[in-house]
Amino acid sequence: MPPQVSEDVEVPALPQDHPSLQEQPVWIFGYGSLIWKPGFQFTSRRIGFIRGYSRRFWQGDSYHRGNQQAPGRVVTLLEDANADTWGVAYQVQQEQLRHSLEYLNHREGVLGGYVCKMVTFHPQGLQARGSILALAYIATPQNPLYLGPAKTEHIAGQILCCSGHSGHNLDYLLRLAQFMRSACPEVEDEHLFSIEAATLRSSQPRVIGKLKPCPDVPLLSWT
């Protein structure tokens, strides 16, 4: 039977009185679907990266991009001293924080199997000075949806066959690849791009044709 996450599970998360959440403002780092669909209120956002982690399609998803019978594949972070992971950090003011964390703990924790950790975010650009402490949701091997490594062709095949409440798994992959090429074209994400290439080699045109634009956040607009 495929792994499952119960909605009654207790999700490890930082308490809202944690010292790191008392700073003004709080930043939340997204490296997967939070890039194009944050789903919570924020004041501003910045493209950038965190050091010491690589992004991998090693987490199963039985709700957003798959189901209990056929879980999809979404990204998590793997500790890797020589790697950077690019994404978007969102600035959240204190009056927005409670609602934002409740939403994310349910979306990423209860439904996704992720836990909350602190990371150091480095904004993109010559004018970006210093680093920012940010929250990030990371799926570890201890969660029941964790799938772990697999051959590129296997991951691609699984992505092509799965869909969930948030849409087709291929849509998730292509949006992430599009973000990388538009926001940081000089960065080569070998894991991501090799899976993208494998899916495009294998997919039928009718699968691509069914993918719909995301209405929530224009991917190419970062002002």
Residues annotated as catalytic are 108
**Closest-CA residue to 13 (of 87, 102, 81):** 102
Per residue, the 3-state secondary structure of 162-204, as one string, reads CEECCEEHHHHHHHHHHHHHHHCCCCCCHHHHHHHHHHHHHCC
Burial class (CB in 10 A: 0-12, 13-18, 19+), 165: exposed
Q: Are 211 and 174 in contact (CB under 8 A)?
A: yes
- How far CA 141 is from CA of 4, 58, 78, in Å, comes to 14, 9, 10
3-state secondary structure at position 112: coil
- How far CA 35 is from CA of 3, 7, 60, 142, in Å, comes to 26, 24, 19, 25
Length of the chain: 223
